[in-house]
């Protein structure tokens, strides 16, 4: 049976290493539908397992935080990324230094 797009998104997101981030568009492309960045956002918001799918490692195309459904929202997401060593410039992830290259 073929995996759903959401299941493919979760499978790809599960491989983002600590200290790196992926963009919603990047995950959409890797999961098989480059135009489905919003669907990736929905999948991350409904993530059934933050232990296996590190949804905090997914950011907007500019490195901006677009939301986080867990803890205290964006402050929790930023704290998790800082703890993992993700590099920031002002209040955005520095994608030149921290973007995951798959």
**Residue 56 · residue 93 · CB < 8 Å:** no
Among the listed residues 55, 58, 86, 95, the single catalytic one is 55
Alpha helix (H) residue ranges in the chain: 5-13, 24-30, 37-45, 74-84, 95-98
Residue 38, token pair as written in the block? 């919003």
Catalytic residue flag (residue 55): yes
Q: Are 12 and 30 in contact (CB under 8 A)?
A: yes
Catalytic residue positions?
55
């Amino acid at each position: 049976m073929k995996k759903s797009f959401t299941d493919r998104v979760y499978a790809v997101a599960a491989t983002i290493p600590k200290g790196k981030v992926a963009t919603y568009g990047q995950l959409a492309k890797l999961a098989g539908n480059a135009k489905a960045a919003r669907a990736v956002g929905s999948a991350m918001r409904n993530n059934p397992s933050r232990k296996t799918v590190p949804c905090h490692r997914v950011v907007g195309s500019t490195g901006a935080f677009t939301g986080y459904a867990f803890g205290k929202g964006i402050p929790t997401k930023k704290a998790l990324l800082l703890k993992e060593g993700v590099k920031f410039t002002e209040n955005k992830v520095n994608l030149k230094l921290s973007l995951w290259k798959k």
